[in-house]
Chain A
């Protein structure tokens, strides 16, 4: 068998590490000890999620509550992040904006991942002519500049979360199918795929039971990297006035 080292790392799960302390507390202690950077990142992320989820309770002002006497104020104790040009409290809007940005990012990324896996798994598993046709389609698709496509579609349909989710999801999904396809190609060469064929399993069963579980690490990475990318693009669109419609707060639109 000739399996390149990277392939092996991708698809072979290591033996599970023995956890000296059972339970959540033990797991957290192990995490901080073994992966301090990851633990810090996780903590920051969880704080953001916490504020996003409880934005409505934590926000000191209503998100669209204007106070024309206090416009464009600097940070102070009554307005932690100051106020904007019509006197809305920026801190409250940042909290609420986390909700919109994260929901759009996660939903878009999930949609993109489903598209990537569907296209990549079928192209990679069947290979041959079908794969060639799909890959040329993906090539053609990837020549469109993302932002231009988004601006065109949104100026026709109008701004909104649904438009962003569908268009960004398709853009990233079709582009990302390349990564999934590559992983499928390497997993498909394992003898267990042939063994499943020889048993008489159909392609749906083989992809679902044998291919997908073994490309899971790749799929997870595709999913998480897309989340940050979507947040940035959504911010850019909102800045251009093409993102989420006006009064709703988003990180990009503020």
Chain B
């Protein structure tokens, strides 16, 4: 292959002290404004104290139902959303408060693939210009000939033919557009790609193609993925580690197999139980969940999950459980993992 796939940063072995991405107590609160003077009457705590590490070459998925703060969390890490509290470190550097000029070298190493392939590509730009844009923005475009070859290589890398660069986005299908988004994300040879529901908008057969492409690229380029999804089967396919979010907090974080084969947190169990099992004789061993997800404007006291939890004890309604390391996983539950 060409020089595009040689990624010097990816070869550096990840050390325990220096994960590629470290998120500590990340919080994003949105003010609720009401009344004639638009006074702040409260806050929606979209993300409320999320912490995790992501190592080079690894895939960490964040799963949870709609409105649990997965995407807000990803946008805050990409600094497209200003965090209210907490720290984000990328490759050992604190990027939480970096001003936009000093953020540029970080952006070069951290790219995003967005959910909707129909609005994430500028309809007035040719595909070759879209893929070349990151290089142009960072002053790495070089000679027109070199740039054209590079864009062609990138398109080939995601399974499109270089001639397609002459077309406009509306001439492509959803899956092809998502490949273009991936080519754009790869242009700067990043270490981390944040995939925000990157396959949710696609048909199942196209989903499989894109997932396999992502995994293939990970092996070849040593990429790390932060994979945001609500689709458990997709997450199971692609992840090394999985974090389960509920109302802005991580309730359980474990290796993929540990989480899917032996879920411990009651919410994780309920979430897995809600996923359809493609076998009528094999009922899920876990109880289905009662009630509805609470309003994020007015979350329950203590553990946000306690009103729906089948195992809740009195302590659950008063104390917010912290994420604790228990065996092979981190879990936030006083019943399953008592202090």
Chain A residues in contact with chain B, CB under 8 A?
1, 3, 11-13, 15, 190-192, 194-202, 205, 209-210, 213-214, 216
Decide if A195 touches B114 in the complex (CB within 8 Å).
yes
Chain A residue nearest in CB terms to B134: A199
Which of chain B's residues have a CB closer than 8 A to the CB of A190?
Answer: 119-120, 122
* Residue B184 at the chain A interface, CB threshold 8 Å: yes
Decide if B107 touches A191 in the complex (CB within 8 Å).
no
Residue in contact with B107 in the complex, picked from A13, A199, A216, CB distance below 8 Å: A199
Decide if B138 touches A200 in the complex (CB within 8 Å).
yes
- Chain A's nearest CB lies how many Å from the CB of B67? 15
Known: A191-B116, A213-B122. A196 touches B108 (CB 8 A): no
Which of chain A's residues have a CB closer than 8 A to the CB of B108?
Answer: 200
Ordered by A's residue number, 16 sampled pairs between the chains whose C-beta atoms are within 8 Å are A191-B114, A191-B119, A191-B120, A195-B112, A195-B114, A198-B78, A198-B80, A198-B107, A199-B107, A200-B138, A201-B137, A202-B100, A202-B137, A205-B137, A214-B123, A214-B124
Closest 5 CB pairs of A and B: A200-B107, A213-B124, A191-B120, A200-B104, A192-B122
Chain A residue nearest in CB terms to B107: A200
Cα(A3)–Cα(B116), bound, Å: 12
Decide if B170 touches A13 in the complex (CB within 8 Å).
yes
Decide if B125 touches A209 in the complex (CB within 8 Å).
yes
A-contact 0/1 string along B152-180, CB 8 Å cutoff: 00000000000000000011000000000
Chain A residue nearest in CB terms to B124: A213
Decide if A192 touches B170 in the complex (CB within 8 Å).
no
Chain B residue nearest in CB terms to A198: B112
* Residue B65 at the chain A interface, CB threshold 8 Å: no
Chain B residue nearest in CB terms to A216: B124
Cα(A169)–Cα(B133), bound, Å: 35
Decide if B111 touches A192 in the complex (CB within 8 Å).
no
Question: Which residues in window 63-116 of B have CB below 8 A to A?
Answer: 78, 80, 100, 103-104, 107-108, 111-112, 114-116
Which of chain A's residues have a CB closer than 8 A to the CB of B100?
Answer: 202
Task: Count residues on chain B whose CB falls below 8 Å from chain A CBs.
Answer: 29
Decide if B120 touches A195 in the complex (CB within 8 Å).
yes
Decide if A214 touches B122 in the complex (CB within 8 Å).
yes
- Chain A's nearest CB lies how many Å from the CB of B122? 4
Tell me the interface secondary structure of chain A in the complex: helix
Residue in contact with A12 in the complex, picked from B114, B123, B181, CB distance below 8 Å: B123
Which of chain B's residues have a CB closer than 8 A to the CB of A195?
Answer: 112, 114, 120-121, 181, 184
- Chain A's nearest CB lies how many Å from the CB of B219? 24
Which of chain A's residues have a CB closer than 8 A to the CB of B118?
Answer: 1
Chain A residue nearest in CB terms to B138: A200
Cα(A210)–Cα(B121), bound, Å: 10
Which of chain A's residues have a CB closer than 8 A to the CB of B171?
Answer: 15
Apart from the given pairs A12-B170, A213-B124, 10 other A-B contacts in the complex at a CB distance below 8 Å: A3-B119, A13-B124, A190-B120, A192-B122, A194-B120, A197-B80, A198-B107, A200-B107, A200-B138, A209-B122
Decide if B120 touches A192 in the complex (CB within 8 Å).
yes
Decide if A194 touches B121 in the complex (CB within 8 Å).
no
- Chain A's nearest CB lies how many Å from the CB of B91? 16
Known: A12-B123, A199-B133, A205-B137. A1 touches B116 (CB 8 A): yes
Chain B CB within 10 A, most for which of A3, A11, A13, A194: A194
Which of chain B's residues have a CB closer than 8 A to the CB of A213?
Answer: 122, 124-125
Which of chain A's residues have a CB closer than 8 A to the CB of B181?
Answer: 195
Chain A CB within 10 A, most for which of B118, B133, B171: B133
Decide if B137 touches A15 in the complex (CB within 8 Å).
no
Decide if B123 touches A11 in the complex (CB within 8 Å).
yes
- Chain A's nearest CB lies how many Å from the CB of B218? 20
Which of chain A's residues have a CB closer than 8 A to the CB of B80?
Answer: 194, 197-198
Which of chain A's residues have a CB closer than 8 A to the CB of B115?
Answer: 191
Which of chain B's residues have a CB closer than 8 A to the CB of A3?
Answer: 119
Which of chain A's residues have a CB closer than 8 A to the CB of B133?
Answer: 196, 199, 201, 209
Chain A residue nearest in CB terms to B133: A199
Chain B residue nearest in CB terms to A190: B119
Cα(A216)–Cα(B123), bound, Å: 12
Chain B residue nearest in CB terms to A11: B123
Cα(A232)–Cα(B170), bound, Å: 41
Chain B CB within 10 A, most for which of A190, A198, A213: A198
Which of chain B's residues have a CB closer than 8 A to the CB of A13?
Answer: 123-124, 170
Chain A CB within 10 A, most for which of B100, B111, B124: B124
Residue in contact with B137 in the complex, picked from A194, A200, A216, CB distance below 8 Å: A200
Which of chain A's residues have a CB closer than 8 A to the CB of B170?
Answer: 12-13, 15
Which of chain B's residues have a CB closer than 8 A to the CB of A15?
Answer: 170-171
Cα(A16)–Cα(B181), bound, Å: 23
Which of chain A's residues have a CB closer than 8 A to the CB of B188?
Answer: 199
- Chain B's nearest CB lies how many Å from the CB of A15? 6
Which of chain B's residues have a CB closer than 8 A to the CB of A196?
Answer: 122, 133, 137
Chain A residue nearest in CB terms to B117: A191
- Chain B's nearest CB lies how many Å from the CB of A84? 51
Cα(A192)–Cα(B103), bound, Å: 19
Which of chain A's residues have a CB closer than 8 A to the CB of B107?
Answer: 198-200
Which of chain B's residues have a CB closer than 8 A to the CB of A209?
Answer: 122, 125, 133
Cα(A1)–Cα(B114), bound, Å: 12
Cα(A133)–Cα(B104), bound, Å: 29
A-contact 0/1 string along B125-153, CB 8 Å cutoff: 10000000110011000000000000000
